[in-house]
């Protein structure tokens, strides 16, 4: 068990040192990349026709349907609520 703990301690102690030894450049230098990737300039994408026409039309139709349902509901309720009773 002591041998295991000794080996484990040495491994924990020297494992960060291996990373430092493998690093071959100094602190001030920046290594050059193997391949330089140039990013293409951003192109302004044209908005699809669905965003321009279909979505606003759908929103307008949904609004009209909701308003129509509200008006129809209140017409039905007031028609049933107020009745003239003849004596």
- Is residue 85 included in any domain, yes or no? yes
- Is residue 18 included in any domain, yes or no? no
* Per-residue model confidence (pLDDT) at position 83: 72
**CA 27 – CA 55 distance, rounded (Å):** 55
C-alpha torsion sign, points 73, 76, 79, 80:
negative
- Supply the range of the domain harboring residue 81: 49-87
Looking at the whole model, is its pTM more than 0.75? no
Element (H, E) at 14: helix 2-22
Inform me whether the pLDDT recorded for 2 exceeds 70: yes
Q: Which two tokens stand for residue 32?
A: 């050059």
- Is residue 78 included in any domain, yes or no? yes
- Is residue 73 included in any domain, yes or no? yes
Cβ within 8 Å of residue 31, ≥6 positions away:
25
Helix (H, G, I), strand (E, B) or coil at 83: coil
Domain count, the chain: 1
* Per-residue model confidence (pLDDT) at position 21: 65
């Amino acid at each position: 068990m002591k041998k295991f703990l000794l080996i484990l301690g040495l491994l924990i102690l020297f494992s960060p040192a291996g990373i430092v030894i493998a690093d071959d450049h100094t602190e001030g230098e920046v290594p050059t990349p193997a391949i330089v990737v140039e990013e293409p300039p951003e192109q302004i994408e044209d908005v699809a026709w669905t965003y321009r026409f279909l979505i606003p039309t759908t929103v307008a139709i949904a609004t009209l349907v909701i308003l129509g349902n509200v008006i129809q509901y209140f017409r039905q309720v007031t028609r049933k609520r107020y009745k003239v009773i003849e004596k």
